[in-house]
Structure 1
């Protein structure tokens, strides 16, 4: 006769790793949502203009989905938001503009210290 099977051993559930700051998809989504709201546009309107489904656009704005570069480009085009501007705003880098006749806005060489809990992206000018 065989002995009864031993009781199952319960293993501890691994704790989620804590993040140091927001993910890129969260930063991008936040900028897209802020821009859409600033323009007074609806999710449905931007979804239709970009060709991105409304549920997917909502998930992207909330940082729940990692959008492809094509999806980001389509949303940016629908909002009239250049990709470089999206990334600059996601990185939290201010654009210093000097008002001089005949010159275009220039980025200063000095980089401000990033606030705690932010992700720093380097954007080539």
Structure 2
């Protein structure tokens, strides 16, 4: 599966768990860390956990390897590492504080619908 398809699948998993403000950044031209960042947030730690687990379940079903998940216990900023796609699931307060979209402002935003 190509990385663009993986980020779309992860975005759908986030949407299915009612994540808010789902944003995908194309990092190819601005960073060597990953090809794509997927960023979203939730209002409670429990919902952050549910979103991160939803991403993992969707990847397992699609046969995409999850390299690691970090931050699940605290559930303030959970990082789901899918290799060249990195998903950042924030608690609302942490998302505002870290503001990755501003930090990586040169990255192009992907446009896609969450229905398919």
Structure 2 length as normaliser, TM-score? 0.26
Q: Whose strand proportion is higher, 1 or 2?
A: 2
Between structure 1 and structure 2, the one with the greater Rg is: 1
Structure 1 length as normaliser, TM-score? 0.25
Q: Which has the higher contact order (CA 8 A, sep 6+)?
A: 2
